Every structure is written in C-alpha cells, then in structure tokens.
Structure 1
Amino acid sequence: METKTAAEKLKTISAINITPFHPDHSIDWEALKRNVDYLLDKHLEVIVPCGNTGEFYSLTVEEAKEENRKVTEWVSGRATVIAGIGYSVDTAVEMGLDAKEAGADAVLIHMPIHPYMNEGGTAAYFRNIMEAIDMPAVIYFKNPALGDAVLKELTPLPQLAGVKYAINDLPRFTKIVRETPEDHGVTWVCGTAEKWAPYFWAAGAEGFTSGLVNLYPEISFELLQALRQGNWQRTWELWHTMVPFEDLRARHNAGNNVVVIKEALQMLGFPAGPTREPVSALSAEENQEVADLLEDWQLNKETFLKV
C-alpha cells in the first residue's frame, strides 16, 4: 500500500482489537480470531493489532509478531491492517519487517518506553524505524513532555501516513495541525477515542481510535457519521451516551482502559479473559457500573452478535 493511500484509509475509526487470554494468561488465539471476525462483520475498515487496548507492552516480541501475522492473515484484505510495533529501534524494525512480510498495510510505532528521552532522540527513533522498514507508518504520539518539534521534523518523511495524537491538549493539537503543510499528506487521528473525538475533529482530526467498537461499534459509527456531516447536535447526544463508559476507562490514570473493555465483553458472553499485569480486575463496584452501562445501552448476551 502506498503512503498516500494509507493516509486516506486512516480517515475513519481505527479499531484497536483486544488480545484475549486464557485463565493462565496465555493468548487465546481462537477468541482473537472471533474478535477480528466480529470487527470485520461490523464493517470496521481499519484494524490495529498490538495496540494498547491489545495490551501490547504485556506481550513478548514473539507473541506480538505472531498476533500481527495472524490478524493480517485473517483480515485477508478486507480491511486495512496497521500492525503495532515498538520497544528498541532494532526490535521495532524486526517486528515491522516481519509484519511487512506477512502483508500488513502499515505499522503503528508505539511511543518509546525508555525512562529518559528528548526531542532529538525521539525524532531519530521514529525516523530510523520508518526508514528501515520503508512502508506506511503511523506515529503514536502521547508523551506530553515532548514538544511537537518532533512531529515537525517527521511529517515530511515519505513513509509517514498519519499521527495518532494522544495528548489531550486541544490548543497544542490545533497549532501543530495548522502548522503542518497539507502537501505532507499526513492524516491526524484522535488517539484518545470517542470521548475526545469531537474536540480533535473540530481542530483538524479526520479519524479516531476506538476500543469501544469491540462491543458497541454501532454507536461509534453513528458518531463518525455525525462528525462527517457536521451534525453537532447529534454528536453531543452520542457523546453524552458514551462518556460515562469512557470516564470509567480513564480512571486510575487510565489504568482501567483495557480491563473495562474486557470485563464488558465477558458480561456479553465473549471470552476476553483476564488482563495481564500490571493491570488487575475491576472492583465489584466498578463491575456493577459496567453492568449498568450495558443495561442502559440494551446490550446483553442475546443482542451481542457472536461470530
């Protein structure tokens, strides 16, 4: 896939699939395939294995490579696959080349997890990975301590299709979007899901990420349509419906982000399994909140489509 084409494909919902685990925390590949089939059946056009909702940093390198390969095989051209990669430069390149060989359309380069980083080094990190893999890439930019000078250096690169911007600083986001020449061809994606999507959209985003689509894609697509149509009344009605769920995911400094999705799926009869450390199960009170939200949405084992 050409970078320009990949950039166009990003102008939608990026579905971040989960990584289901067995009770012993090994990957449940059968459940993962069901998860991917569900997303395809619900017409998601972009699927991102090994994203943060997929517990990327809890996976071994070999597990992550296998997940990227399997999801690419299962999707088989029916959607755009953006394979998550990261860790050190060499490891990310190894993972990216493996995904490229498997037929993935693009890579999502996670933010470095090194405790010490600066703008020059971070820009070099992304640049070296993109140039070594030489395929369409999306940068996951989420460290507020780093300035947007990193992005200004990288947006002219021919491999860069998009930026998943996950810093909820709207004036800052607006400024970088407006200061990036249109001929760079970069698609800006709201990286903090439906709660923040309307704000990012008003500032220049043309897509948003979602974990919610793993269980309730219909409402996410309604939001996308409302944003595309500029129907702000409907946008805020939908936002009001979704925000309690996203607020629950944001608790504990976003520590609930994945486990809320997984425990909601469990309630709907889908074998999402546990989360790996350092994430633990929800409290009984928070589990009840999830159950109440599902009831409000009229989602249950009977209405949830099992694939």
Structure 2
Amino acid sequence: SNAKLIRHLENGQVTTLLYGGNANMHNIGVTGLADLLGSLIGAASTDTWIIPSVGPDYGGMMDQAPILRELNFPTVMILPIQFPATPAGIEVGIRRFSETLGKPVIIYIKQDRYLSVSQLAGLKADGLLAAIKYAVPRPVTREDPYLSELCEEIGSENIVSGFGERPAIEHLKTFGLAGFTSGCVCIAPQLSMQLLQAIQRKDWEEAKRIHGLFMPMEDQRERISPIRVLHDAITLAGIAEMGPMYPMLSGIPERECANVGQSAKELLRFEMEARGMAVING
C-alpha cells in the first residue's frame, strides 16, 4: 500500500515525502520502526527524499534516535507535544535529540508561542534547526504576529506552511514562506505541485483556481478529522488500500464514507486531468 502511494506521489512530480501527523507516526514505537522505514526507503526512487518524524514524547524519540541515525535520513521532524510540556523543556528535548541524531531537525509548531522566537533563533544559531513547519491556525491568515517575528528572525526561507492548501497562498504571498506541506497531495500530487508553481511565479488567478479544487476535500477533513479522512480517502479513491488505522486512531464512520469517497474521487479526477490521463477507478 505504501509502495503504491509512493508511486502515485512520484508520478505527480513530488520528490520529498514527509511522514508526520497524517502518517500517524506519533503512534509508532521503536519495535518494527527500522523495518517500516526500510520499506519506505526501498519503495521510493533514489531521487526521492524520505523524512520521518519522531515524538512527541521525549523517551520515545530518544529511543528512536539510534535507528534514525543508522538509516541516515536527510533530516527528521519532531512532532509537537502539548501536555505535559513547557517551552524550556521542549527546547532541551529538541537539543538532546538533534545532538544524538547528529543533524539539525525540523520543528513542527501547531500552537502560538510553542517556542519563543529567541529559543528558535538559538537552536538555529547552534546548527540544530533545519526548518520550521508552521501550522498555527489564525482567524485571518495574513494577520499573524508570531509568524511575522519568526520570518524576521529565522528567515522565511527556513519556514514552510504546515497545514495543507487552505492557507498556502496567503502564507507564501504575504510571508514569503519557502513552500507548504500537504495531506491532499496524497490524492492530487501533480495539482499540488502546480499550485506551488503558480504561487512561485505569482500567477494568483491560476493559484486560486487550483486552490479551489482542493477545498471540497479539505472541507471534509476539517469537518470530520484531517488525519482519519485522508487515510480513508486514499482507499476510497482507489489509489491504494491503506487498511485499518494504527491505534490510537480509527477510521471514519461508515455513514461518512460516501461523501468522503465522492470528494476524494472528484479531486483524483482533477489530478488525472492535470496529468492528461484517464481517471483511475471511475
């Protein structure tokens, strides 16, 4: 299933695969981790970067560090922890993990002032910060003092928009972020890349057109559950059979499958049209 999904992504011109929250990596333990990551490496093209995630608990990520160091990934993302944690404690954990890994890491920020700007600047100065995945929701995306301060101190080129296509245009246009991560890229990778390219060349009309194609699927994710909907949507669209979700998550309710499946198949149809191919699975 992962191999089929990886081929679908690569055929859509995606060459960096980040296995984070949408991949339910926060529930993956040490046992079997090396085999799982090895299978992902084996399924991917030599031109594709695989970036795994660790955490959010300190003990788990430190236990995983030797495995990740041995497999020599380009970097690793640290998933965000909300409780029990403090900014000072989070910084210590990040430092120790990065030093043990021997590489700078991606820090995933999902809440306002998760770490202070000065803390993140210190991590960058010490060579422990590779990038920031920024996913703090705001009522008005372009009004974000925390992100503005991070861009000024850390550099917008070191920050990516971290929660899909919905805020991507505004984040890249207003703040100059380097790019965006996406869950729906698993369904429509070529379209997601075309959205990024339209933003980069400042073709705002085309960017908004493509952006609109993702919104029905993103609305389903927002309404029910971003991770659970995406997992089941990949199966319902006929891209790959993803099977049951790994605990502690579960699939979407049966009553939601028809609507989610319809949105997923519609987005896949747009994807195939972008590639100039016939629609998969009708």
Normalising by the smaller structure, the TM-score range is: 0.7 to 0.9
Per chain length, whose mean CA-contact separation is higher, i.e. which structure has more relative contact order (CA < 8 Å, sep 6+)?
A: 1
- State whether residues 151 and 159 of structure 2, in contact with CA within 8 Å, keep that contact through their aligned partners in structure 1: no
Identity of aligned residues (%): 21
Partner of 1:16: none
- Could you tell me the TM-score, scaled by structure 1's length? 0.77
Match 1:237 to one of 204, 209, 224: 209
Q: Structure 1 regions of 5+ residues with no counterpart?
A: 1-30
Deviation, structure 1 residue 121: 1.2
Q: Deviation per CA, 1:133-185, whole angstroms, max 9, x where unpaired?
A: 11132111113363533423322231321101111244134323333154xx9
Distance 1:81 1:291 in 2: 28
Equivalent position of 1:10 in the other structure: none
* Displacement after TM superposition at 1:53 (Å): 1.0
* Residue 165 (structure 2) pairs with residue 194 (structure 1): yes
Please report the RMSD computed on the Cα atoms of aligned residues, expressed in angstroms: 2.6
Give 1:122's aligned residue: 90
Cα gap change, 1:83 to 1:262, in 2 (>3 Å): closer
For the residues of structure 2 that align with 1:54 and 1:194, how far apart are their CA atoms? 17
Q: 1:144 aligns with which of 94, 103, 112?
A: 112
Asked whether the 8 Å contact 2:91–2:115 carries over to 1, the reply is no
16, 21, 29: which is aligned to 1:46? Answer: 16
Cα distance in structure 1, aligned partners of 2:268 and 2:12: 18
Secondary structure at the counterpart of residue 210 of structure 1:
coil
Whole-Å separation in 2 of the counterparts to 1:90 and 1:259: 26
Structure 2 CA distance for partners of 1:48 and 1:296, relative to 1, 3 Å: closer
The answer to whether the Cα contact below 8 Å between 1:105 and 1:136 also exists between their aligned partners in 2 is no
Residue among 259, 262, 265 paired with 1:289:
259
Report if aligned partners of 2:12, 2:188 keep a CA contact under 8 Å in 1: no
TM-score (structure 2 length as normaliser):
0.83
Query: Which residues of structure 2 form unaligned runs of 5+?
Result: 273-277
Structure 2 distance, partners of 1:83, 1:110, is 10
Cα distance change on mapping 1:99 and 1:186 into 2, 3 Å = farther
| Aligned match of 1:179 | 152
Aligned residue in 2 for 1:131: 99
Q: Quick one: distance in 2 between partners of 1:238 and 1:135?
A: 36
Q: 1:227 to 1:104 in 2, by over 3 A?
A: same
How far apart, in 1, do the equivalents of 2:88 and 2:232 lie? 40
Alpha carbons of structure 1 residues 76 and 236: separation in structure 2 relative to 1, 3 Å:
closer
| CA gap 1:235/1:90 in 2 versus in 1, 3 angstroms | same
Do 2:187 and 2:264's aligned partners in 1 also have CA atoms closer than 8 Å?
A: no
Secondary structure (helix, strand or coil) at the match of 2:107 reads strand
Paired position in structure 2 for 1:18 = none
